[in-house]
Amino acid sequence: MAISDSLQVTKTRITAACVAAGRAPDSVSLLVVSKTFPGSAVREAFAAGARAFGENYVQEGLAKAQELADLPIEWHLIGPLQSNKTRPVAEAFAWVHSVDRLKVAQRLSEQRPAEMPPLNICLQVNISGEASKSGLLPAEVAALAHQVAALPRVTLRGLMAVPEPGPGALAQHRVMAALFEALKAEGLALDTLSLGMSADLEDAIQAGSTMVRVGSAIFGAR
């Protein structure tokens, strides 16, 4: 299937999931995950209407941003970020979904160029408690959220997670949504719950996700 067709199928899935959940279709945005796929595939998806693209690896993302500099793409870093790689990310990306330490957030804040809009940040939560995954434990989120929200040159937008696949995924999505709402109740101006991928976007939208991250359903298997 052509990328343009797969993109439309994904948008149709999102709309159907929103309708099933009693939500407005425009309440969920699509982040196209382009990691490991070439710049030509990104260009094709852009031509079909996609505007926001997610990369897991800093160097790969920077290379694509440079290759596709003629396109007004909104680049999101969704993979782990080490503190020694924050400067190029602060200079090239619009969003970072994977902040889980104050040091990383502080460096992004200090290194964001003054002429650029604030860098949008999501805190990554290890909602499944897997040792192999990055992210904060749920009990650690509130303290860091308030610290990051106070930093200049960055805007705390919300939370991101990668629930463990399987029958317990919906419950994990709901825990994330409850955590998101609790932070808003504490006075944080959050609007983004980055939750759900190709296999589980319907569950994520049912739970309250506002942004789904879809790669393989659009570009094909990696």
Residue pLDDT, tens place only, 104-142: 999 999 999 999 999 999 999 999 888 788 899 999 999
Query: Tell me: the pLDDT tens digits for 44-87?
Result: 999 999 999 999 999 999 999 999 999 999 999 999 999 999 99
Q: What is the mean pLDDT of residues 4-27?
A: 97
Q: What is the mean pLDDT of residues 188-196?
A: 97
pLDDT score recorded for residue 166: 83
Q: What is the mean pLDDT of residues 165-194?
A: 95
pLDDT score recorded for residue 31: 98
Query: Cα–Cα distance between 7 and 86 in angstroms, integer?
Result: 31
pLDDT score recorded for residue 150: 98
Domain of residue 29 covers 3-219
Which DSSP category does 78 fall into?
Answer: -
As given in the structure block, the two tokens for residue 118 are 């604030």
The pTM assigned to this predicted structure is 0.96
Q: H-type helices in 68-168, by residue range?
A: 86-92, 102-111, 138-149
H-helix or E-strand spanning residue 125: strand 119-125
CATH of the domain at 65: 3.20.20.10
| Helix 58-67, helix 39-47: angle, nearest 10 | 60
As given in the structure block, the two tokens for residue 98 are 């994977």
pLDDT score recorded for residue 133: 83
pLDDT score recorded for residue 121: 98
The count of structural domains within the chain is 1
Query: Cα–Cα distance between 8 and 16 in angstroms, integer?
Result: 12
